[in-house]
Structure 1
Amino acid sequence: MISTSARLLRLVSLLSSRPSWTCRELAGRMEVTERTVRRDIARLRELGYGVESEPGPWGGYRLGGGTRVPPLVLDDEEALAVAVALREAAFSGVLGSDQASLSALLKLRQGLPPRIADRLGELDGAFVHTHRQGERQIAPGMLLELATVCRRSERTRLSYRDREGTATVRDVDPYRLVRAGRRWYFVARDVTRDEWRTFRADRVTQVQPTGQVVELVDPPDPAILVSRGIAGGTYPLYVTVRLPLPLDQALRLVPPTVGTHRPDGPGHTVVEIGGPDADGLAGYLLRLGTPLRVLSPDDVREALLRRTRELFEDNENRPPSQGAAPCRRAVDGVQSDCGRLSPD
């Protein structure tokens, strides 16, 4: 027979998995009587879990806010994972202020068994963090709210402010949270438009769960959707190039957060890249250090050729340094030979 403590943990897990359960549903899932469920609910309330009752013949129980933080039971791997996550949050600033993360990490480390504390110490010695200023961060509470509605598949009324500062309210079906770089993105289906969207989590101003559980049909790959959204941001100019590389190599050269890719026959990939202007895009293409052909537009092609001609003129009268090995590269039909550029 299952122990009382294990049964209580199972009950908490069920209550957390969706907005509401009837007493009969919980009894059926746990294979106990409804009287046992009511007794276990009372015990959870004593422990600090905010289990709320819903009146009426179709009412039941839902997990709300408690009066205090309830106890958690973590195995070794879970405790180590939580400690590593808190350390990352504290030192990277991904959750905004690091004080709460540092305080929680200190409390957790004080209670860790020596075998886990030693493993965490080994990881601490290997981690190196850098800090970047001026980046907008998401509040920890908002990130938790978004994660909760994703886990519960609960239709949500989302208040959002776009890059122009325009505020909108829309109903969405949450799916996943994706971290790209130092930002979090919220992937959800826009109910009104019936399309999958990505939202910058730090621009979400309010989350209002509706209590309606939804079943998502054929959801997209959230990481790919976010990558395409980042690469497809609004730019004044786009260049389309053909790389003599298969798709996997092209993705390593030009990340999916920078360009959108499509195979173009065996061994070639067409990539579209956005940028501020023709000269900036030409500079980026030169830095790729690989043969390529500019398909469009003409002004980027001309800027690329102009840059290569300038390099040619700057270096044509300068002999290569002594002992330099011969080398050749090509950029859109322009060949480079040990610092000397000449038309192919």
Structure 2
Amino acid sequence: MEFVKDYFPPKLIHRYIFSEFFKTFIGSLIMLTGILLISVLMDNMKTFVASQQKPYHIALFLLYSIPKMLVVVASPSLMFSVCFVVGQFSVNKELVSIMAAGVSFYRSVSTLIFFGFFMWFFIIFFSEFIMRPSNKMAANEQAIILKGIGNKTDLVYQLHIRGAEGFYYVYWYDNEQKKIRGGFNYIKINNENMPELVISANSALYTESTHSWKMEQVEEIIFDDKLSVKSFKTYPEKVYTLPENADYFAKPVKTADQMNFFELNEEIKIRKNKGMPYGELEVERQSIFANPMMCLIVVVIGAISGTFTKRSAGISSLAITIGIVILYYVLFSAFRSLGENGGIPPFIAVWFTPTLFSLICAYMIKKFNL
């Protein structure tokens, strides 16, 4: 109860510091989001000009891309704002006056730390319920924009997966026609995990009404119990009934950054059953909780760093923010890539960088007795 009385309602000094910080934070958020928006616009300008679709699809694509940009720039905006405000107070000797009045440094910036903690959880919920659905809608609009300019977005190339009774090796799958083109290979496995049937075809068309596959330019090999060729036949065309339907070969409706926590869980189970790699999904699932943690980390580091600003708070804050953010993202991206490719466990890949920077925060708090 004493803690509640000390901080709620916020004291005048807390409201003053937080109001200065919040105005800077909102301005930084808008500015950095605008820079990213312009960057996306320029990167896709050639595609936008060549597109035969109505202009409002371009506007919707940019609009739906904004939530992801907000999540990306939230941490840099927080760090710059905290570092700038604390640095400005330090340069103007206001921070010295506050501490001389008997208010400790950490108590003075407690509202900023609370806000960083709040942003950690806010970004988690914002990402799950706004950003990820928006990513899917942005991808849909991008697919519409790309129509008619020589880009195909509905193909899966060289897919190797496990089925209920064997293994499939297909070149690519046409979602619209439910047809495998360029090559279809199937190896049926018996109860002793030995091949008993091999089917190779140039193409395979699935018929929904009969649940069968119509294949062209077929080679069929049947093995006996000793793996000797029992039969080898070729057919210009033949119909097979296989355990898997056409949807089994379709690529996921959503990419990893478009799925929420529960959708990622479901897709991981599906990929495990198909024998497909799922490392990037596991990494993405861990990132849902790890990435937003940076909001709290940068607030603590930014607040302590800001106290050592000597002259220009703006320049110093910008330099510190760029350095810390670049270091964080370089480390995080490197370990994330290792995790996605199976080099290290996904948990370590995602949580190593936040843990490292958390230890740096703890060291700074202990080292600089403010």
TM-score, normalised to structure 1, is: 0.23
Larger relative contact order (CA 8 Å, sep ≥ 6): 2
Structure ranking higher in helix proportion: 2
Higher percent of residues as strand: 1
